[in-house]
Chain A
């Protein structure tokens, strides 16, 4: 049994770790149902084409085919995120190679694939736009001619191929630049990175006698799946149930997939369970990527190192559908100031449609792109000013009670401590021996991120024997939230974690949660768990006071599920309280706490915000990273030798899980920095659609030392002080590595990934 008083801050193994280690954990593809059909997809061979018609007879004639769906079966308005421009299968037009045009359910996978390929479509090919420049060129072919008719929760964009555009500004940049002694200005390019979770997307849809559909999904929110499927199928949400399976990674990429709706549609049509699991290649071609970006940035400072102004333009390549482009753009703009005190900042942004896979959410959500440019530029500014880059960061770093870009007050900020911690850790580490033919460099980057947004809830119930039943809608996609939630609940009630059960996420039963996204689970859902648990404690204390005929103030929770009279050995157990509530007075003790993010919002007096894709967000966290790299002078190969990553987590609920988030995020960021890139050919075909062509870091690429440094500066609005740590660890890697390469070689890389070829070119073109 774990020590109950230390449920928070200890690192019990994850609740489900044992099941994962013996192969018993159930993922979507492990499901078998009697009579289950298998789905296969037909996808578009054209980057842009009008669909003229479908020929389904040959597919229908294949024995074993039970249902087919195409865009011709769909009616009503489109679905999607805050701009409803999508449909689960293409309607009217296809807008990227790989877009789903038809789906088949058949008795076995082979028959389903054969039938899918037997479907024929007549297309009228259209000119395609594959880059930001092509999309914005005068007279460019327009992807969404009917954009004006789409349902939109946000305006801004909708002309030509512009999905969304907005501006955030504070102060007066033009005037401030006139007072600067040094100004640096450059442009950066970043690539499409694929989430590349190890489990491809998938779901199983089942249907009951009444036609009600249950989806077993690999997803980041059962409530989101339920809502999206209901919308696509034209069913009330009460007729759709979504259940989360164990999820083999998501990183943003499983937040809103079309495939759930397709499986549900086929199951409804065939009245049989349908399994739809993507092949790895389909997952690459039809799911999501991180937005490729072009970032122009200009930063100016006084000779003494005070940064006065920054001007930014970010253009995101959103791919064929809006999906998360508006919020990703808005968040990239908010992060583009960096965690610095810069009084005059203007950030303007545009997201554009192109005939490629839709870009969507991916760990960092616009921040990695903005920070790659911003943190690289800080080093360039430092070198022009003749100031050490760490000192320049320390001098301009945000401090407690400063405001974020947008004007929100930030009460808790340990950025300067983070910077000092990585600086000192690197200085004090025994130096690595120099290697022949390699240049060694050190680089730094800092970042901030958020962990509060949208709505969530938690329910706790007292069971007859005094056990606690906890339930939330927070899907654990591998980051360890199940365990963290149970630790928070157990801590509030002073019971061992074994006395708390945790319900799997099921839209029929779980309290609402927006999504596992935005580093928000431990802050948002964790806060709901803590508040609900503390309210349950108060209800139990009230019962105990009646039972012991004393005042509540004279009572205390004692470890192990008992309430005691202060200073006296007399106690009543949770079990007795439960029995009393259930059979004598008060009724079952069931407490739900729900809230929507309630931090101080943007300040319209301080910041001019044209429009953002979210009403409010916050709970800022800060971090700093330092890397040492070796650059091979002959090949341009970059090797990260050591990394130190200092991050504020507010309060480490499970320190081992925090370390895992930091190390895993850093290595994904290293992949982004050095190797990962989705590439399309001139016809718009993705040519990196396997894990052999699209490299993610392997164990041999992993630096021998990645040192997580956890800082705990409790957030005052969370009962236990927790903040998020899911995303920031990825954000610093690319700029820290770019700065280290420059430190080693004098070559400045402004394009990701920093491949050996690009490094060599940059070394050759040093002036």
Chain B
């Protein structure tokens, strides 16, 4: 069994000091250690995007990131971005536009969409598709997700 090693992170704005095994993923740290269960485990293999969080503002798959490699970085999860106007606009657009069904992909879609819109406030349909291309959804057929992201972008530009 691997020994636990110390790591310092900023998670949702709060400094967190932990000791975790070498092999522990950021997703396991968030979900199991810190009970931040908003990021979902859809595949644990880096394919589905349900575990998407941001590391220093960049959308990453928490199931592929080792916690010890995140030393000193800022982690934002769906629970922690609550007061951000961009995520609020996206959440509102998803809720109003029927862009979520079972909801299991939703936190990941929202975090990925937020990362996209913070780089590009006026994306085309193709750019939204590119920005969300790492996030699977089995329920919606994606049209309403794309429309919700475009509508959130519009409302932010107003």
Q: Which residues of A contact B (CB under 8 A)?
A: 11, 13-14, 16-27, 29-30, 32, 110, 196-200, 246-249, 251, 277, 279-280, 477-480, 656-657, 659-660, 663-668, 690-692, 696-700, 702, 704, 706
Contact = CB atoms under 8 A, between A and B. Distances in A.
Interface in B122-142: 125, 129-130, 132-133, 135-142
Given A198-B42, A691-B136, A698-B133, A478 B142 contact: no
Given A32-B35, A198-B136, A699-B142, A659 B102 contact: no
B137 A198 contact: yes
B45 A691 contact: yes
B145 interface: yes
A197 B137 CA distance: 9
B101 A480 contact: yes
A692 B49 CA distance: 12
Contacts of A704: 125
Contacts of B77: 23
Interface string B61-78: 000000000000000011
A702 B106 contact: no
A20 B137 CA distance: 14
Instruction: Tell me the dominant secondary structure on chain A's binding face.
Output: loop
Contact of A21 (B95, B135, B136, B143): B95
Contact of A249 (B35, B139, B143): B139
A29 B47 CA distance: 19
Contacts of B35: 32
Interface residues of B, number: 52
Given A20-B106, A22-B91, A691 B98 contact: no
Interface of B: 1, 31, 35-45, 47-48, 50, 77-79, 82, 91, 94-98, 100-107, 110, 125, 129-130, 132-133, 135-146
Contacts of B133: 698-700
A198 B96 CA distance: 22
B43 A691 contact: yes
Closest 3 CB pairs of A and B: A23-B38, A478-B102, A20-B103
Nearest to B111: A23
A248 B102 contact: yes
Contact of B140 (A13, A22, A29, A660): A660
Given A19-B103, A198-B138, A656-B98, 10 more contacts: A20-B103, A197-B104, A198-B48, A248-B40, A248-B42, A656-B97, A663-B140, A691-B47, A699-B133, A702-B143
25 contacts: A11-B98, A13-B95, A13-B98, A14-B95, A17-B103, A20-B100, A20-B103, A23-B79, A24-B38, A26-B37, A29-B31, A198-B42, A198-B104, A199-B40, A246-B103, A248-B42, A249-B102, A656-B144, A659-B144, A663-B140, A663-B143, A668-B141, A690-B47, A700-B130, A702-B143
Contacts of A198: 40, 42, 48, 50, 102, 104-105, 136-139
Contacts of A20: 100, 103, 106
A110 B24 CA distance: 11
Contacts of A248: 40, 42, 102-104
B110 A21 contact: yes
Nearest to A655: B98
Nearest to A29: B41
A25 B103 contact: yes
A756 to B, nearest CB: 20
B102 A21 contact: no
A373 to B, nearest CB: 25
Given A27-B104, A690-B47, A667 B141 contact: yes
Contacts of A479: 101
Contacts of A665: 141
A7 B130 CA distance: 37
Contacts of A279: 44
A692 B45 CA distance: 9
A657 B107 CA distance: 20
A691 B105 CA distance: 14
B141 A666 contact: yes
Most buried by B among A16, A198, A665: A198
B102 A199 contact: yes
A706 B138 contact: no
A692 B37 CA distance: 24
Contact of A22 (B78, B98, B145): B78
Given A21-B91, A22-B91, A16 B103 contact: yes
Contacts of A249: 101-102, 104, 138-139
